[in-house]
Amino acid sequence: MTSVERREKLLALAEQCETTGRPDRNLDAEIYEALGYTVRRKPTLLAGPRTPPGGIYQQGALWKAFGKISAEFDVAVGVLRQKAPDWNWSLHSIVAEEQTFEALVAGSSGHGALASLALCAALLKAFAARGGKITES
């Protein structure tokens, strides 16, 4: 994938985070993939009861169930700290608007119905602003 394609993918995912009103496991998988993780999605056939919901991602030599990054703020913060530990970020609640949260990550802003979605949108936009370059985890 070229850097232009990577940047476009990051911006498309950021827009999806801003326009959706709810978390989504497929969106979780796409965010993890866009942030440079190797992802294996949950199989639709032959899935057992111990199969993690959504899928797994590789971190070093280990495979872990990926978190609900679009639903849980703590998971989004954890990924932000892992992928961009030196970046500044903030979150604001906006009471009077439909999209009630605004996040700022390294100078890029994102909005969302949930704090986690706003943070994901801002994180994706921040990486896109840097040409789509994702640091290794």
Domain extents for the chain? 3-129
What sections of the chain are H helices per DSSP? Answer: 3-19, 25-34, 73-83, 115-129
What's the predicted TM-score (pTM) here?
Answer: 0.85
**pLDDT given for residue 65 in this prediction:** 77
Whole-angstrom Cα distance, residue 135 to residue 116?
A: 21
**pLDDT given for residue 51 in this prediction:** 56
**pLDDT given for residue 77 in this prediction:** 96
The phi-psi region of residue 131 (left if phi > 0; otherwise alpha if psi is between -120 and 50; otherwise beta) is left
Spans of the chain, pLDDT less than 70 = 42-60, 97-99, 132, 135-137
Whole-angstrom Cα distance, residue 9 to residue 1?
A: 10
The fold adopted by the segment(s) 3-129 is: Bacillus phage protein (3.30.2120)
